[in-house]
Structure 1
Amino acid sequence: MIHIVTPENAHLYKDEMEQAYRLRHRVFVDEMKWTDLAKPDGREIDQFDDEHAVHMLYIDDGRKVLGYQRMLPSTRPHLLSDVLPQLCEDERPAGPHIWEWTRYCVEPAHRERGRALSPVANALLSGIVEWGLESGVNTIIIEMNPLWLLRLVQLHFRTAPLGLPQPVGGQDTVAVTAAFDRRTLVRLQEMRGNCQRVLVQPANTMPLYLAS
C-alpha cells in the first residue's frame, strides 16, 4: 500500500523515511552512478526534502519500504526550475494543479520483468493519480529517459515534451508534462486486475500551507 508522508504525519514514519532515503542512495548513487548525490551516511537527501515535499512510500506488511517517489509543487523551487532548467525550452509549466514527480525508485527484486509494470510500480503510479484526482492535481512534470514516453502513453497519461533530450548524469533525459484523469486510473486498475484503492489515507493529505 502507498503511504503519504508530509510534515503533519512524518513523526509516524521516521524509520520508513530512513529506509526511503537509503533506497534512494542505493538506486541513484550506487546503481545509476549519480555520484554528485553521494552522501557519507548513505542517505540521499537534497534541498527539496523540505516541508513542501509530499513523499509517497510503498510499505509492505512488515513495514519494509519497497518503493518511493516524491512530489514537489511547481509553484515553489523544484528540479526543473532550479537544477535542470535547460530541459525546458519554452515557458516553464507552473500552477497549483501541476506537481513535479521525482526520485521514483523501486527495490530491485520488486521491479518489472519485461513490459508489464510490477505490482510496486503500478501502485506508485496509481498513488499519484488517486492523490491527484482528490487533491486538484491533474498534471505532473517528469525528467526521465525518453524511452519512458511510450510507456506513459500506454498507461493513458497525455504527455508533452518540454524540450529535446539532453545528457544528464550520463544518460539522455527529457522533461515532459504528463496529464492524467480517471481514465488513467482505470487503465492502471485494469493492468493490475483490481480496482482497490492503493492509498491508505485520504489522498488530499498534503502540506498545510497548500490546504489553506
Structure 2
Amino acid sequence: MIIVIDALNRHLFSDVLAEMHALRARVFAGRLGWEVDVKNGMEIDQFDALNPAHVVCLDDDGDVVGCMRLLQTTGPHMLADVFYNILDGEPPLRSARIWEATRFCVDTEKLKGTTKNNSISYVTSEVMIGAFEYAQQAGVLDAIAVIDPVMDRVMKRSRNAPYDYLGSAKQMGKVKAMAALMDCSDERIDGIRDFAGITQNVFASNEDALALFNSGVHAHTHQTAGIALESAYDFDPQPTEMRKPTLDDLRLYCEDQIASAHTAADKAAAHALKLELSGLLTTTPAARRCDA
C-alpha cells in the first residue's frame, strides 16, 4: 500500500513520517554506514525541509517498509548541491518537469524471507510504481537519481533500467555513485508492474492509510517522535553545500522555459525574463545604486 505525503497532507501523517525517518536512519546510518545526520533516531536532512513528496509503502501490518523522496529540480536538490562532482563541470538539469528521486530504501530486515506482497522485490517495485505514477500525474516527464552500481543492477533486473546517465561515476565513500535518468512513461510503469505481478491500484486513501498504520503495534511508539518532527525539520532554508547559481545556470533555466513555452506569449515572456536577468546580473552594484 502506497501513500504519498506532501505539503498538503503532511499534518495528517507526522507519525508515519517519523517511522519513515527512523527506517532511513536504520538503513543509511546503520546498515550502509553513510555519514548522515540522525536526530532522535531519525535520519533527516535539509532537503526534507523543502516540502518534498515522500512515497511511503505500508505493509500488511501497517509498518513503513519502503520509501522514496521526490523533489523538484528547479530549486536546491542533492545532485546539484551535494553530488555535483558527478556532473564533470556540466550544469545540473533544472526543469519543472524533471524531479529528483532520492532516499530510496526498504526494510530488508523485516522483509527478508517473506513472500508475495511483503517481499523485498515486491515492495521495491511498489515504491517505484507509486513514484512514477504520482510524478506522471503531476506532469513530470523524467526523474534523476543518484544511485550506486548495486541499485543500477536492481533497476535493470526489475525492468526499470535508466535510459541514460549524466556525467560519470565517482567514488563516494565506500561505493561509486552515478546520476541516472528515467522517463516517467507508461512503458516503464507497465514493465515494473509486469515484473512484480502488480495489477491493482497501489495507492491508498488518506483514511485507509491512517487506519492501517494506527492498527499496528508500532502506532504508539512514534507518537512523541511525530510531535517532535517539525522541529527536526528546522534547517537553514538554504543547504550549506549549495553552490550559488551562475549566469550559465540562469541562462539554461531561461532557455528551458523558452523551449517548454506552449504559446508565443509565453515564449516572449521567457525571452524578456532572460534579458532582464542578464541585465541585472551583469550590472555592478554601484551602477544599480545610480540607476535607483
Do they fold alike, i.e. is TM over 0.5?
A: yes
**Structure 1 residues 119 and 156: alpha-carbon distance in aligned structure 2, compared to 1, 3 A threshold:** closer
The answer (yes or no) to whether the contact 2:98–2:140 under 8 Å persists in 1 is yes
The answer (yes or no) to whether the contact 2:22–2:41 under 8 Å persists in 1 is yes
TM-score when normalising by structure 2: 0.63
Q: Structure 2 residue aligned with 1:135, among 116, 124, 138?
A: 138
The answer (yes or no) to whether the contact 2:37–2:45 under 8 Å persists in 1 is no
Aligned equivalents of 1:81 and 1:20: distance in 2? 24
CA offset digits 1:4-46 (Å, max 9, x no partner): 1012111211111010011000100011111x31425211000
Q: Which residue of 1 aligns with 2:20?
A: 20
- Name the SS of the counterpart of 1:62 in structure 2: coil
2:189 aligned partner, one-letter code: L
| Unmatched tracts of structure 2, length 5 or more | 207-292
- Report the Cα offset of residue 175 of structure 1: 1.1
Richer in helix (by share): 2
Q: Which residue of 1 aligns with 2:11?
A: 11
The answer (yes or no) to whether the contact 2:130–2:202 under 8 Å persists in 1 is yes
Aligned equivalents of 2:121 and 2:68: distance in 1? 15
The answer (yes or no) to whether the contact 1:110–1:118 under 8 Å persists in 2 is no
Q: Which residue of 1 aligns with 2:176?
A: 172
Aligned equivalents of 1:180 and 1:153: distance in 2? 15
Aligned equivalents of 2:101 and 2:185: distance in 1? 16
- Report the Cα offset of residue 87 of structure 1: 0.8
- Report the Cα offset of residue 195 of structure 1: 1.8
Aligned equivalents of 1:147 and 1:64: distance in 2? 25
1:181 matched to 2:188? The reply is no
Q: Structure 1 residue runs of 4+, over 4 Å off?
A: none
**Structure 1 residues 25 and 151: alpha-carbon distance in aligned structure 2, compared to 1, 3 A threshold:** closer
1:31 matched to 2:34? The reply is no
2:62 aligned partner, one-letter code: R
- Report the Cα offset of residue 59 of structure 1: 1.2
2:168 aligned partner, one-letter code: L
Moved more, 45-54 or 192-201: 192-201
- Name the SS of the counterpart of 2:204 in structure 1: coil
- Name the SS of the counterpart of 1:28 in structure 2: helix
Select the structure of larger CA radius of gyration.
2
CA offset digits 1:85-143 (Å, max 9, x no partner): 10112231121111111000100132699xx9611101001011211221111211111
Moved more, 56-65 or 71-80: 56-65
Aligned pairs, how many? 199
| Unmatched tracts of structure 1, length 5 or more | 203-212
Richer in strand (by share): 1
- Report the Cα offset of residue 189 of structure 1: 1.5
The answer (yes or no) to whether the contact 1:6–1:51 under 8 Å persists in 2 is no
The root-mean-square deviation of aligned C-alpha atoms, in Å, is 2.2
Aligned equivalents of 1:164 and 1:52: distance in 2? 29
The answer (yes or no) to whether the contact 2:129–2:189 under 8 Å persists in 1 is yes
Moved more, 116-125 or 70-79: 116-125
Aligned equivalents of 2:22 and 2:7: distance in 1? 19
The answer (yes or no) to whether the contact 2:162–2:180 under 8 Å persists in 1 is no
- Report the Cα offset of residue 147 of structure 1: 4.0
